[in-house]
Amino acid sequence: MLYLVPTPIGNLKDITLRALEVLQQVDVILAEDTRTTSKLLNHYQIQKPLTPYHQHNEHKILQHLIDQLTTGKVMAVVTDAGTPGISDPAFLLVRECIKNNIKVESLPGATAFVPALINSGLTTNRFCFEGFLPLKKGRHTLLTQLSNEERTLIFYESPMRLIKTLEDFIQYFGAERQCCVSRELTKMFEENARGTLQEVHDYFGQKTVKGEIVIVVEGKE
């Protein structure tokens, strides 16, 4: 049995009672960063074995995990923040579990792009989640394609690359396209900057940017 367990994206209170129950019952927890997950588990007084599971080792340990699951082990996958599989590891393991008739259950819970989309003030009935853009190869091609996308666009970005990405959006989407940049969602210093791409670019260009970033951009009219 494999559980996919969402964890808080900032505020430790944003975890479901069921998620805590599952983490207390499983045999082992696969964690993107065991140090980060340990803080969460210690906060809720949960003591369970942790195994590192991230993009750098997921291929290497995949068969070992399947072997353990096949013998009856019950595991939970968690990431540093949010839902496993959304711009984070989990897809490979889920696919292999399905191939081997291992039951997979995904719990509902925190995902950063949902609150960012809802509080952006942009259309929410149709949207396109792109996650992190390619850093180099394929970036131009993808942005060219997305420049004609009519649905609301959602991206993840690091604070270090925010300005560069906004500059690319201005180039491909136009400076007057409406957007909202959300950072530090659910935390004490949560911020949602709304306006045109140019206005938001100029705003963040005058300050030091920290925290996890979600960018929501208006679709093409």
Q: Alpha-carbon distance 70 to 41, whole Å? A: 26
Which residues, 6 or more positions from 202, have their beta carbon under 8 angstroms from its beta carbon? none
CA distance 210 to 200: 15
Q: Where are the domains of the chain?
A: 2-106, 113-217
Give the pLDDT score at 132: 96
Asked whether the whole model's pTM tops 0.85, one would answer yes
Give residue 59's pLDDT: 96
Identify the residue with better confidence: 88 or 120.
120
pLDDT in tens, 124-145: 999 999 999 999 999 999 999 9
pLDDT at position 209: 93
The CATH class given to the 113-217 domain equals alpha beta
Residue whose entry in the numeric block shows the structure tokens 């949560």:
190
Identical fold for domains 2-106 and 113-217, yes or no, is no
Q: What is the pLDDT of residue 108?
A: 96
Tell the CATH topology of 2-106: Cobalt-precorrin-4 Transmethylase; domain 1 (3.40.1010)
